[in-house]
């Protein structure tokens, strides 16, 4: 599987660590470690640090070095150079918003679990042909949301998804109810004002609520 975690055994997967993967955008790498600790304490160990800011590589490196209970990965990976950079920084998984043959080959060669982004049936089929069964569905809401994923579950039952994009605590349970959705990605548990205030207690509380989400909104 593309997203297996070798250190946790052959059957372990990024998709199965928690119902929600926090999608983290950091402007200040100094916030990375306390934020990651709050998320882990709240029950969300898989953390995607997106490469959208200059602080991202240092943030990723700090979490990998100082928060051993976190499974930290890199998001918005779109070039082979970024693959090499984040793996060297300690990324334990990779997430891309989309994929090309060049990017896919680089992610495969890295030896690190990865979730390539898809938004069409043809992209899903192309990845299945290459033996990749676990993917990111992005942008989820704009690409058809739960209705789209439910429609493709019948013809493509072997594909598993982590939908990301426009998902919040109210819609997450609807995605988690689908047979082909293992988890969702989102940032609602990391409000910018809480990060700015360094209110890690609030973020831990929001993370704990997210970790309790399941199909129908009940606790797991």
- List active site positions: 48, 136
Phi, psi of 186 (to 5 degrees): -170, 170
Tokens standing for residue 119: 């938004």
Distance CA 205, CA 192 (A): 15
Tokens standing for residue 152: 């493709």
Distance CA 78, CA 28 (A): 22
Can you point out the beta strands (E) in the chain? 20-24, 46-50, 71-75, 94-95, 114-115, 117-118, 134-137, 160-163, 184-186
Phi, psi of 118 (to 5 degrees): -140, 155
Cα atoms found within 13 Å of the Cα of residue 206, Cβ hemisphere only? 19
Sign of CA dihedral 125, 12, 97, 138: positive
Phi, psi of 95 (to 5 degrees): -135, 130
């Amino acid at each position: 599987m593309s997203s297996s975690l070798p250190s946790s055994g052959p059957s372990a997967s990024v998709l199965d660590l928690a119902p929600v993967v926090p999608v983290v955008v950091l402007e200040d790498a100094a916030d990375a470690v306390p934020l990651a600790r709050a998320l882990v304490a709240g029950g969300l160990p898989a953390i995607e640090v997106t490469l959208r800011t200059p602080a991202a590589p240092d943030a990723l490196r700090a979490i990998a070095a100082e928060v051993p209970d976190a499974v930290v990965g890199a998001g918005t990976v779109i070039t082979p150079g970024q693959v090499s950079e984040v793996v060297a920084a300690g990324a334990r998984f990779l997430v891309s918003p989309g994929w090309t043959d060049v990017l896919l080959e680089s992610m495969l060669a890295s030896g690190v679990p990865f979730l390539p982004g898809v938004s069409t049936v043809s992209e899903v089929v192309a990845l299945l042909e290459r033996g990749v069964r676990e993917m990111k569905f992005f942008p989820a809401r704009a690409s058809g949301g739960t209705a789209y994923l439910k429609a493709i579950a019948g013809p493509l039952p072997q594909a598993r998804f982590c939908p990301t994009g426009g998902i919040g605590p109210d819609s997450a349970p609807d995605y988690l109810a689908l047979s082909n959705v293992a988890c969702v990605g989102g940032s609602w548990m990391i409000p910018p004002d809480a990060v700015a205030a360094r209110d890690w207690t609030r973020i831990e509380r929001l993370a704990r609520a997210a970790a309790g989400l399941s199909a129908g909104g009940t606790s797991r």
